[in-house]
Amino acid sequence: FALAAASPTEPDPIGQSPQIQDGLVIRAPTTCPVVQDGLTSTTFPWTHAPTCLPLVLPAGEHGGRHSTYCVFTNAAFNDGRGISIVTSPESAAELAAEVWETGLGRGRAEQGLWEAREVEGKGLGLFAKRLVDSGETIILESPVLVVSREVLGSVSHSRRRVLLEKAVGQLPEKTREMVMALSRRGGESEVEDIVNVNAMGAKVWDGTSHLIVVPEAARINHACRPNAYYRFSDASLTLTVFSLSPIPPGTELTFSYGFSQLPFTSRTAALKETWGFTCTCALCSSTPSNISASDTRLSDIAGLKASLPTSLEDIPQYIALIPRLVALLEEEGLYAELGMYEEILAYAWSAVGSEGRARAWAERAEVHWGVVAGKDSWEARRCGELAGNVKEHYTWGTWEGDIWEG
């Protein structure tokens, strides 16, 4: 990309790169000369000329490095919902052509699963309109903003603001209004404040860390024991919000904003420092005895995790420790990790030649992986394969020794 000449210091000019594609509709991809690993990569249809600026990124105590970041917008993506991506030219060049052919056109409130309501002290929240089964998709939608974490970490404040405001400004009007209506904390830059408050972390197609903004999902409030979770597909640019457990009608949908496995005092302090609110979820508003019991379970969970072996030579330790760990996670309402530990236990029982126990734990893991990763995920399928034929699995009978020794 050809960049306008720019000084690394303020004030900042706005750099413009050449138009990649004219018009406001998706047309055939054209080639953009982005050199990456010695090769010329191909980008895909953008409906606006990318705006590019050099940013200064922190590099050690006393230095900084210069990198170019651009705003790439496709205002026609997902039936005119639009998307703006603030990232490096090299990262943008990695986007696959199939992304632009998905034509989502789905996932909105017409599904009838949720509705937005005012929540005292929290603004808008989302509520289930009917019973939502465990693992059921609640929202399936594309992000309207994808922003590199490095952009937000840049010390080039004015340039960073230019890129973010350009990204939102190039979105279709309806989408732009959705973004600007999201919650803020009162930062100096309105758009940057919206991104910091409402975005979710995600790894994208080239392995780099970005933040994504999906306005519908951004309305989901925090709970330390949430009933919903999300996964992001960088292949199709879709966010799936799903239920971790059955959600009765009229119940508020909740995410964990983090720190869920810290004890009460540390957890509430971290939430206050990071997000600026005092948590009033069901757990944090419970009786002192319930909070104390929760803290005890969390301490036991941390201790068990620390005690788990790191070598497959210690299979009896897995068999001894994981059932208690799984029981504590379930009792504490920390469902997202269940599949992982149940799968490990299934392999352990298979290795020592216990077909029934291996199958039982593999079936449990298949269910819980199906919730967290999706029923068609590799995680769920591999557990299903183990449950279906334990003796043909590569782990069967591979451990030698008496599991009751030691």
pLDDT along the chain (406 residues), means of 10: 32 34 36 41 71 85 80 92 93 72 48 86 91 93 95 90 96 96 84 93 89 95 95 90 95 95 97 92 96 98 95 87 98 96 96 96 97 94 97 93 62
For the chain, the farthest-separated pair of C-alpha atoms sits apart, in whole angstroms, at 72
Asked whether the CA dihedral 159, 165, 169, 175 is positive or negative, the reply is positive
Q: What is the spatial distance between Cα 117 and Cα 112, in angstroms, rounded to a whole number?
A: 14
Q: Could you tell me the pTM of the whole model?
A: 0.81
* Domain residue spans of the chain: 71-254, 288-392
Provide the 3-class DSSP secondary structure of residue 349.
helix
Among 151, 133, 141, 137, residue whose Cα is nearest residue 105: 141
Structural element, H or E, at residue 364: helix 355-372
Residue with tokens 């951004």: 218
Burial class (CB in 10 A: 0-12, 13-18, 19+), 392: exposed
pLDDT at 403: 66
Among 84, 56, 89, residue whose Cα is nearest residue 72: 84
Among 313, 345, 349, residue whose Cα is nearest residue 329: 345
pLDDT at 98: 57
pLDDT at 30: 38
What CATH number does the domain located at 288-392 have?
1.25.40
pLDDT at 405: 56
Of the options 2.40.30.10, 3.30.420.590, 2.170.270.10, 2.60.40.10, the CATH number for the domain spanning 71-254: 2.170.270.10
| Cβ atoms of residues 345 and 320 within 8 Å | no
